[in-house]
Amino acid sequence: MSASDFRQEFIEFAVNRNVLCFGEFKTKAGRMSPYFFNAGLFNDGNSLYKIGQFYAKAILAAELPFDMLFGPAYKGIPLVSATTIALSESGNNYSFCFNRKEIKDHGEGGSVVGSSLVGKVLIVDDVISAGVSVHESFSFIQASGAIPCGVIIALDRMERGRGSLSAAQEVRQIYGIPVISIVNLDNIVSYLQGRSDMALNLSAVEKYREQYGVT
């Protein structure tokens, strides 16, 4: 399966799960967006298995070298678990871990569950909005003596934040690490262009992109 094929397949999967919806939705920035993505609806065994497969395909397609994966609590925990299993099924066995929000003071203790943070670490998350989660993960990984080497997310909206850059571009600029996405706004537009029944949605997305998009 080519890179373009799995990205279009992911969009169809997300639409069928109502994870990717089209209409009118108010964003945190107060903008009226013509589409909305809610990764929290990957909420059963079948959908979690499939989302792990898509993360794995995007990671392998990017050919980014890394030693292990890290999922920031809380949404990153099931995502990194599913992704690690999917990578293993394709013959790529990696260790992984996630953090606790509160440090455990009994039993094994500490703030990390899973493998110790070592080497080059790929962060697995759902989306990047204000970049807060990435900042916390970056600091957490560095404090453990490991090296954050990239971020993999489900969707890059390719949309300006407070300045002229998108959230993903700001991460690249501030931390000097790549941001990989399963799909981005270009892929969504391509999907809509192939759906004659969604011409109005395509028009709304293109107008929104003209107003808030980045290249």
Amino acid letter, residue 113: V
Tokens standing for residue 146: 């490991």
The answer to whether 19 and 37 are in contact (CB under 8 A) is: yes
Tell me: cis bond preceding 208? Omega within 30 of 0 counts: no
Distance, in Å, from the CA atom of 86 to the CA atom of 104, rounded to the nearest integer, reads 29
pLDDT at residue 2, rounded to an integer: 62
pTM value?
A: 0.91
- Out of 22-26, 41-45, 54-58, 158-162, pick the least confident: 158-162
- Compute the average pLDDT of residues 161-181: 92
Cα separations (Å) of 96 from 55, 120, 163?
14, 12, 34
Write out the catalytic residue numbers: 104, 106
The domains found in the chain, sorted by start residue, are 3-212 (3.40.50.2020)
Per DSSP, 39 falls in state G
Residue written as token pair 């809509």: 192
Distance, in Å, from the CA atom of 119 to the CA atom of 132, rounded to the nearest integer, reads 23
pLDDT at residue 161, rounded to an integer: 82
- C-beta neighbour count of 209 within 10 angstroms: 18
Tokens standing for residue 134: 């990435």
- Compute the average pLDDT of residues 20-48: 93
pLDDT averaged over every residue in the chain: 92
Distance, in Å, from the CA atom of 114 to the CA atom of 106, rounded to the nearest integer, reads 16
Q: Compute CA 47 distance to the chain's CA centroid, rounded to the nearest angstrom.
A: 15
